[in-house]
Structure 1
Amino acid sequence: MSSFMRLVWSIIVLWGLTGAAYAQSATSALQNCLPTRDMQEAVASKSVVAPAFAVMTARRQVPNAEVLRANLCRNSDALVYVIMALQKDGRIVQVMIDGPSGRVKSVH
């Protein structure tokens, strides 16, 4: 499958999500995300683990899934990576990784 077709499929699946609770939790988690420059500064100052480390941790939690998005966001006063992954069955999984420690906080 081409990259373009995977992108189209991902968009279709995202539009098809119907769970209001899931949509609300995903939206609230992504509301306070840092711009790329701020994320780079947080990584450079060693305030958080590298994004690649967070993505690898999420991939271990959701094997055989394609990572669609990884953002560094503020959750209360903590920095967390919010990683969205597409499973082969079409379900989207949100993995939250604690920014400073790199540990999994939740998988939904």
Structure 2
Amino acid sequence: MRLVCLVIALWATMGAASAQSATAALANCLPPREMQEAVASKSIVAPAAAVMTAKRRVPDADVVRASLCRSNDTLVYVIMALQKDGRIVQVMIDGSSGRVKSVH
């Protein structure tokens, strides 16, 4: 709970534009049951693999959230990482290939 409060406070200090883009990316996310079904069907990489890819892309950051979301008829992992300087970084990973799509 303390971590959630910290993330919310950090989003408030990041500025409205950054917070809105992060919220928009998370708007079309799958519920846990659908995420499990997608992983079980082997149509996407495992969540742990996506998180490890994000950690390699944003070293020395703590992953605070990982969601599987729809984006233009594809599935992407939206991973939020908290850097040591207090900034939140959003890493989008292509669900089918496991490759980084963007880092903001």
TM over 0.5: yes
1:40 corresponding residue in structure 2: 36
Does residue 83 in structure 1 map to residue 79 in structure 2?
yes
**In structure 2, C-alpha distance between the alignment counterparts of 1:88 and 1:27, rounded to whole Å:** 22
Identity over aligned residues, as a percent?
69
Matches within 5 A, 1:1-108: 6-20=3-17, 22-108=18-104
- Closer, same or farther: CA 86–48 of 1 in aligned 2, 3 Å: same
Q: Which amino acid aligns with 1:24?
A: Q
Code of the residue aligned with 1:64 in structure 2: it is: D
Q: What count of residue pairs does the alignment treat as equivalent?
A: 104
Runs of 4+ in 1 over 6 A off after TM superposition: none
Query: RMSD of the TM alignment (CA)?
Result: 1.4
Secondary structure, aligned partner of 1:73? strand
Question: 1:9-60: per-residue Cα shift (whole Å, max 9, x none)?
Answer: 333212322141x223212211100000000000000011000000000000
- The two structures have a TM-score, normalised by structure 2, of 0.92
Q: For residue 6 of structure 1, report the CA deviation from its aligned partner.
A: 4.4
Contiguous gaps of at least 5 residues in structure 2: none
Aligned residue type for 2:76: V
